[in-house]
Amino acid sequence: MLTYSSFDSLFITDPNDPNVDGPVLIPAYDSRMIATGDSAVIYLAIAHGINNTEMLASLEQAQQKYNQIVSVESDLNNIPLDFTLEQNYPNPFNPSTKISFGLPQRSSVVLKVFNALGQEVAVLVNESLEAGTHSYSFDASKLTSGIYVYSLQTDAGVISQKMTLVK
């Protein structure tokens, strides 16, 4: 039950029971399990009243007045399920490229670029980032042609990819 902006323990009470004056949950469908990665559309209506009769009347008034379904969209689909480091684009590149990666949860992130000798040539990110997909541009105009490695270090581990600078 939603009470004072928080959910109390859920319970089901018969809305037609004359002895009940407390909150009532009226499920429209039987409960079901939702597997990880699956999605479901859920509709929510909140009615008010000092007793069941007034609450049900309020719910009926809302249904008659609005009689429409309002969609609530979520950004959860934009949060990757796994820690990822994408291939830079374009590749080969000259003089700049975009490096993208995904974080399934908030993490400390260090994104570095190394030359073929393993020497660090750039640090693109060194901070804590929120879950989601992130993209950074890498300007290699001061570097020579060759193969470079970009490495993403997070709380979950390290991933590296190769990229080619052609001038």
Average pLDDT over every residue of 60-65: 66
pLDDT in tens, 47-57: 667 776 776 77
pLDDT in tens, 17-37: 555 555 555 555 556 677 777
CATH architecture of 78-165: Sandwich (2.60)
Taking the whole predicted model, whether its pTM rises above 0.75 is answered as no
Q: How confident is the model at residue 75 (pLDDT cuts 50, 70, 90)?
A: low
Contact 141, 104 (CB under 8 A): no
Does 161 have pLDDT greater than 70?
yes
Q: What is the DSSP letter of 89?
A: B
Extents of the domains making up the chain: 1-72, 78-165
Unique residue bearing structure tokens 């009926």: 60
Average pLDDT over every residue of 65-76: 53
Which carries the bigger pLDDT value, residue 33 or residue 138?
138
Q: Burial, 111: exposed, middle or buried (Cβ in 10 Å; 0-12, 13-18, 19+)? A: buried
Quote the pLDDT of residue 6: 43
Sequential DSSP letters for 96-128: EEEEEEEESS-EEEEEEEE-TTS-EEEEEEEEE
Distance CA 154, CA 128 (A): 9
28: left (phi over 0), alpha (psi -120 to 50) or beta: alpha
Q: How confident is the model at residue 95 (pLDDT cuts 50, 70, 90)?
A: very high
Unique residue bearing structure tokens 């969609």: 71
Does 10 have pLDDT greater than 50?
no
Q: What is the DSSP letter of 78?
A: G
Unique residue bearing structure tokens 């008659």: 64
Does 143 have pLDDT greater than 70?
yes
Quote the pLDDT of residue 35: 78
Distance CA 105, CA 156 (A): 10
Quote the pLDDT of residue 3: 41
Average pLDDT over every residue of 33-44: 70
Does 121 have pLDDT greater than 70?
yes
